[in-house]
Amino acid sequence: MSQIRVAVIGGSGIYKLDAITVKSTHRVPTPFGDPSAEVMECEVDGYPFYFLPRHGIGHHYTPSEVNYRANIFALKKLGVDTIVSVSAVGSLQEQYSPRQFVMVDQFVDWTKGLRKRSFFDDGIVGHVSVANPIEGGLSKRLYSACQRAGVEAHLGGTYLCIEGPQFSTKAESQIYRSFGAAVIGMTNVPEAFLAKEAGMAYATVAMVTDYDCWKAEHCTVQEIMDVMKSNYLSAQAFVKEAIPDLVKHPVSFEPENGYAVITDPALHTEAHRQILDVILRK
């Protein structure tokens, strides 16, 4: 296991950024199957971190097909304790404009039960609070990195996660706006909750691409893709600020999974122990 503690989970375009050098790749088997891809060991300005393309190389997994458990488990197995999620989102409120980044602090889970969402099943019962799913100190650090990089950003806001892969209807979009949610996406649940179960610091950098469909102006998929290209340029500047800072000054936080498991240890199988040894490791 390496000494690399920071990982970025994001779209396929991130590892192709000019600022990032891919040094090697790691195939990491897990009890939950294969991660989305081999984990990339990368550097930015000489500072190492891991990168995992959430949708696979070439973006071939839909949001519901992503093996979130395998992804988080693989990173924890490699020794990661800090995860930066870089995700494209739609805006549900006027003040969150396309090309801006939002450091979300809460989630509303509007998925439909198709995703494996916990490490605690199949004979292991455990409960971890997700009242505060984002590590606040990490999120503030990422917001500061945006400011240093010249990227317009917001600190705080709720991310509403839908199943996808379709975008919302107008009626749905208006309902989501009435919740007070800031942005809408398809991937950060159960990813954030699994990171919490694994005792990891997790924060989201939500890159706004459009105003969903609630606003009168029509937005095509091509227009969204054009904004995403612009956002990746901003992401490059952000990564160059964020990664060196997190490597030089690791995030201090207290894992909340230490007392999660309530199943009698006498009932734990060898398979259970192999899972718990990883996710409960400090």
Q: How much is the average pLDDT of 1-19?
A: 82
Q: Choose the catalytic residue: 105, 109, 210, 245.
A: 210
Q: Has 212 been annotated as catalytic?
A: yes
Of the chain, the percentage scoring pLDDT greater than 90 comes to 87
pLDDT-based confidence at 219, cuts 50/70/90? low
pLDDT of residue 45: 95
- Residue 182 in any domain: the answer is yes
8 Å CB contact between 163 and 63: yes
**Separation between Cα atoms, residue 280 and residue 273, nearest integer Å:** 10
DSSP 59: T
What's the pLDDT band for 46 if we cut at 50, 70, 90?
very high
Q: Which of 48-62, 100-114, 161-175, 209-223 has the lowest mean pLDDT?
A: 209-223
Range of the domain at 136: 6-267
**What are the distances in angstroms from CA 230 to CA 15, 88, 122, 205, 244?**
15, 12, 44, 15, 23
Q: Is residue 274 part of a domain?
A: no
> What is the sign of the dihedral through the CA atoms of 239, 240, 241 and 245?
positive
Number of domains in the chain: 1
Domain assignment present for residue 280? The answer is no
Q: Work out the average pLDDT over 88-105.
A: 96
pLDDT: is 232 or 180 the higher one?
Answer: 180
214 Cβ contact list (under 8 Å, min separation 6): 92, 170, 173, 174, 177
Whether 273 maps to a domain, the answer reads: no
- What CATH number is attached to the domain comprising 86? 3.40.50.1580
Identify the CA nearest to 104 among candidates 158, 144, 177.
158
pLDDT band at 13 (very low <50, low <70, confident <90, very high): low
Mean pLDDT of 195-222: 88
Point out the catalytic residue in the list 81, 105, 109, 212: 212
**What is the share, in percent, of the chain residues with pLDDT greater than 70?**
98
* Euclidean distance between CA atoms 251 and 253, whole angstroms: 6
Residue 138 belongs to some domain of the structure: yes
What is the residue type of 147?
A: Q
Kindly write down the DSSP assignment for every residue of 80-148, as one continuous string.
--EEEEEEEEEESSTTS-TT-EEE--EEEEE--S-S---S--TT--B----SS-S-HHHHHHHHHHHHH
In this structure, is residue 209 part of a structural domain? yes
Mean of pLDDT values over 231-238: 91
C-alpha to C-alpha distance for 65 and 87, rounded to whole angstroms:
16
Please give the pLDDT value at position 146: 98
Answer whether residue 1 is part of any domain: no
Q: Respond yes or no: is residue 210 known to be catalytic.
A: yes
Closest residue by Cα to residue 17 from 191, 242, 208, 224: 242
Classify residue 103: in a domain, yes or no. Answer: yes
pLDDT at residue 1 above 60? no
Position 218 confidence tier, pLDDT thresholds 50, 70, 90? low
Greatest mean pLDDT among 13-27, 129-143, 211-225 lies in 129-143
Q: Which tokens is 57 given?
A: 């190389």
